[in-house]
Amino acid sequence: MRWKRLTGQSITGLLIAGMVSVGLLPVAASAAEATDLARGKPVVASGSHGGFPAANANDGKVDSYWESNGLPADLTVKLGADADLESVVVKLNPDPIWGSRTQDIQVLGRAQDGTAFTSLRARAGYAFNPSGNQNTVTIPVDGRVADLQLKFFANTGAPGGQIAEVQVLGTAAPNPDLTVSALSWSPSSPSETDDITVEGTVRNAGSASSPATTVNVSLGGVVVGSAPVGPLAAGASAPVSVEVGKRPQGSYTVSALVDPTDTVVESDNANNSRTTASPLMVGQSPGPDLEVRSISSSPANPAVGAAVTFTVAVHNRGTSAVSAGTVTRLTVGSTTLNGTTPAIAAGATTNVTVGGSWTAASGGATLTATADAANQVTETSETNNTFARSIVVGRGAAVPYTELEAENATYQGTLLKSDAERTFGHTNFATESSGRESVRLNSTGQFVEFTSTAPSNSVVVRNSIPDAPGGGGREATISLYADGQFVRKIDLSSKHSWLYGNTDSPEGLTNTPGGDARRLFDESHALLTQTYPAGTKFRLQRDASDNASFYIIDLIDLEQVAAPSSQPSGCVSITTYGAAANDGIDDTAAIQRAVTANQTGRIDCVWIPAGQWRQEQKILTDDPLDRGQFNQVGIRDVTIRGAGMWHSQLYTLTPPHEAGGINHPHEGNFGFDIDENTQISDIAIFGSGTIRGGDGNHEGGVALNGRFGKDTKISNVWIEHANVGVWAGRDYTNLPELWNPGDGVEFTGMRIRNTYADGINFANGTRNSTVYNSSFRNTGDDALAVWSSKYVKDQSVDIGHDNSFRNNTIQLPWRANGIAIYGGYGNKIENNLISDTMNYPAIMLATDHDPLPFSGQTLIANNGLYRTGGAFWNEDQEFGAITLFPQNLPIPGVTIRDTDIIDSTYDGIQFKTGGGLMQDVRIENVRIDKSNNGSGILAMGGARGNATLTNVTITDSRDGHVLIEPGSQFTVTGAPNGARAKR
């Protein structure tokens, strides 16, 4: 029981928003005349118990409340600017079910230019009595502060501090208040060839002078220019003018934001922006305008060494025709191919065959096509002639970045190398490193220096820094240099890493330090202000101001990130519905309004411009029947497009278990719930999860979830710090009338990182669906999985079948498999690269998790598996790189072919003990080299079934080529290199 009460009635939770110092005496007349400065302000706490988050403390309701997760505890209200305080009012629910209690409270404050809290009212006991003071106390305070903190030391009614409502009464201190007004543009009706200037007025409406700052102007939610704003006396105004250049045809919301980096402390920080009531309309200029719509290749999926030819679709979006003879050019790698374009009428599209061919290189390349490459045509826009896409060849994804390992770089530090068994879960940094090696920087001046191999304007750093002493992570910086010149500080964090415990159950791990640790690494990324050429020496160096006690650098990704994409014709920006980029305010309501407008046919497409957009609730379809948070209706018939995964980023700051009004506790408070025909592309979704389930089952949420249905396509989406990246499928019992399993769902270009469970899971009868050309790193369960579960409408029909995982790159799953198939038929695992699994196989077929049976054929073909397999379940079960585990049902019809299994931790291919048969397994054209602590192929003592080997090469295995353990009922026909199976 969490509180004392007089009856057995239940008490609902409260939302806390703002915290301030509170006095616990009857409210004085002067306090009643003052303003409640806490209402609607951010509130944070040292910790919260269960479903009683800090946000409940200032939500205007006394039937919800905050409760701390122990004592002492503190709750802080961020007023935003200095205020002169008179009192703090602390309330509990006045209902008699809340029995009398006494709470020991100290009130502290911190000024807007201060760094530490000082006491405003010493610790004292305050009595709450529903029949006496109506469970309300007032604490007189005197001081000028911007942050007010209540520190709780004791509570006779509960093991933690409790507040239903907190009010901070006082008046704002003198401060500036910057506003924007009178936005306009010239020319008033521009065309695509006109240079546009946006003009406005900045006014200081406050009671004190303001220092110099800047104003940013945005079109369609994208910042396109800025202007300086000089110091302003109280009440003074200044005109501003920003040249925003030429803009493509379309409709643009126009907004301006003064003091965009929040460097000026203001009495009201919520009124710094202004958006015009009417959009800027840019008309099309007369004349031709060529653009590339698509690139097709023949063959579409070439093998390494194949000759590939290309066709480019060129469209004339202009108002007049283009004569024949312009050059359409395609570049791929170091190859340049040209084609002659026929005449194209206004509004028409033609397919241009470019001459010559390209010899397909392993890993693929980027195709870039340019219309009017010789600049023969004077066009209304010269900025839209180029189009690029990836072509995938051989194994793995054609990722747009170059990955460089720290151990292969130049460094001054300590090289970390894993032990022979790559032991996991005991604070083993090297085991959790790519390639099982990384570099540790202990001292100032130590560094890792990478030499780039391609032009780059961004960096991703996979790193580990220490946890905070009490858990929860800490922040630190490391210094980035390019060719010896300082570039910038890279912000690192351990907030999302460092899980503790000895349990094999990931839900049993905790964020509280103690004992063994795992999930030691996380990633930080930065978009640089310029492009650095190939051959640049990028150095990550520990300078004197970089104050973590150690840094471990595993790898970096260097990428040439394209400029933000322009708003497509027909798409309407979320800014039209009230969202504002980069302001830290929750944009969920605006995003939901835009999605609903698209779903109901009022707009054609939702545009998420470049910027940081805060999202604290999942986007779904409002359920008019209000069937509760566990029965969700996903979106359908929706198209959502962004300016690129590096540019259009959705993020959440609130862990799902602390998000009041969460849509669905398991699926979290961010991302999208999808039911049918939804296309999402070119955005990022960053969650706030820090754990999979421990510490109160505080899961990290799912970025994309739902039934998915038909015609859903997701491309170029970056997902990070979620519990699960994508979970496709719902149980039939969840709104049976909406049963709609995924069918033909496609994922391409996905970038999923640092999850606490699966990357993408095809569950609940998902069929005919694909994950292609995507990359996964540091997932906390299967990076990719088909789970043909039984929670479906018809178990004879709703089987997970004919799904394909093709040309994906999977690295460093810290729990479970690279790719797993649990039941079903016709599923394929082809052309993937999988490396460095912590404790499970690279690929597993299994009948645990109670799936529907395997039947028909399952194909594992042309995969490359490096340093995979591991030990789990008390470190007693050793898994091979490929493992078949028929726990209670047979696994028939498996083909493993054209695959390299290199440097496995234990066995190369393993047939595991279980209750089912593994019949007629075919292993063809497979190379197994260096099974470090096992055999090339192992049939365990309880294994049953048979396999046939054809053209199988096994070398350098500790326990021999093929080992059939005593008691096994498994037979192997054929032998590698003429060797016989051993028993």
pLDDT in tens, 227-278: 999 999 999 999 999 999 888 788 888 999 999 878 898 888 889 999 998 9
- Check residue 866 and give left, alpha or beta (phi > 0: left; psi -120 to 50: alpha): beta
Res 445: pLDDT: 97
Res 21: pLDDT: 31
Closest CA to 126 of 105, 149, 143: 105
Spatial contact of 693 and 699, defined as CB atoms under 8 Å apart:
yes
Residue 13 — very low, low, confident or very high, per pLDDT cuts 50/70/90?
A: very low
Closest CA to 330 of 367, 299, 364, 359: 367
Cis, peptide link before residue 400, omega less than 30° from 0: no
Q: Which residue has the tokens 């933000």?
A: 564
Claim: this prediction has a pTM higher than 0.85: no
Cα–Cα distance for residue pair 162/205, rounded to 1 Å: 38
Rounded to 10 degrees, the C-alpha dihedral 965/970/976/978 comes to: 90
Res 31: pLDDT: 35
867 pLDDT more than 70: yes
716 pLDDT more than 60: yes
Res 663: pLDDT: 60
Please give the mean pLDDT across all residues of the chain.
91
Closest CA to 639 of 668, 611, 608: 608
608 pLDDT more than 70: yes
- Pairwise pLDDT comparison (475 vs 1), residue with the higher score: 475
Cα–Cα distance for residue pair 20/170, rounded to 1 Å: 11
CA 111, 491, 555: angle at the middle one, nearest 5? 165
Based on its alpha-carbon atoms, the radius of gyration of the chain, rounded to whole angstroms, reads 31
Burial of 967 (0-12, 13-18, 19+ CB in 10 A): exposed
Res 57: pLDDT: 94
Tokens of 413: 């530090």
562 pLDDT more than 90: no
Burial of 76 (0-12, 13-18, 19+ CB in 10 A): buried
pLDDT in tens, 402-422: 999 999 999 999 999 999 999
Closest CA to 752 of 711, 728, 782, 787: 782
Cα–Cα distance for residue pair 314/333, rounded to 1 Å: 21
Spatial contact of 67 and 52, defined as CB atoms under 8 Å apart:
yes
Cα–Cα distance for residue pair 268/178, rounded to 1 Å: 8
Spatial contact of 52 and 141, defined as CB atoms under 8 Å apart:
no
Res 665: pLDDT: 60
Cα–Cα distance for residue pair 280/818, rounded to 1 Å: 49
Residue 656 — very low, low, confident or very high, per pLDDT cuts 50/70/90?
A: confident
The amino acid present at 780, given as its one-letter code, is G
* Residues in contact with 892: Cβ distance below 8 Å, sequence separation at least 6, in sequence order: 854, 855, 917, 918, 919, 920
12 pLDDT more than 50: no
Cα–Cα distance for residue pair 745/677, rounded to 1 Å: 9
The amino acid present at 487, given as its one-letter code, is V
Cα–Cα distance for residue pair 740/108, rounded to 1 Å: 55
Indicate the pairing of strand 746-748 with strand 770-772. Answer: parallel
32 pLDDT more than 60: no
Closest CA to 774 of 753, 791, 755, 789: 753
Res 393: pLDDT: 87
The beta strand positions in 423-550, using DSSP E, are: 437-441, 447-451, 456-464, 475-482, 485-493, 499-500, 517-518, 522-532, 537-541
Spatial contact of 280 and 184, defined as CB atoms under 8 Å apart:
no
Q: Alpha helix locations (H) across 62-190?
A: none
* Percent of the chain residues topping a pLDDT of 90: 78
pLDDT in tens, 634-655: 999 999 999 999 999 999 998 8
Cα–Cα distance for residue pair 369/379, rounded to 1 Å: 17
Closest CA to 918 of 891, 894, 942, 938: 891
- Check residue 57 and give left, alpha or beta (phi > 0: left; psi -120 to 50: alpha): alpha
The CB density around residue 157, as the number of other CB atoms within 10 Å, is: 18
Spatial contact of 161 and 69, defined as CB atoms under 8 Å apart:
no
Query: CA dist 909 to 37, 671, 919, 940, 955, Å?
Result: 66, 38, 15, 11, 13
Res 534: pLDDT: 92
pLDDT in tens, 58-107: 989 999 999 998 999 999 999 989 999 999 999 999 999 999 999 999 99
pLDDT in tens, 676-707: 999 999 999 999 999 988 777 788 899 999 99
Least confident of 374-388, 595-609, 793-807, 811-825: 374-388
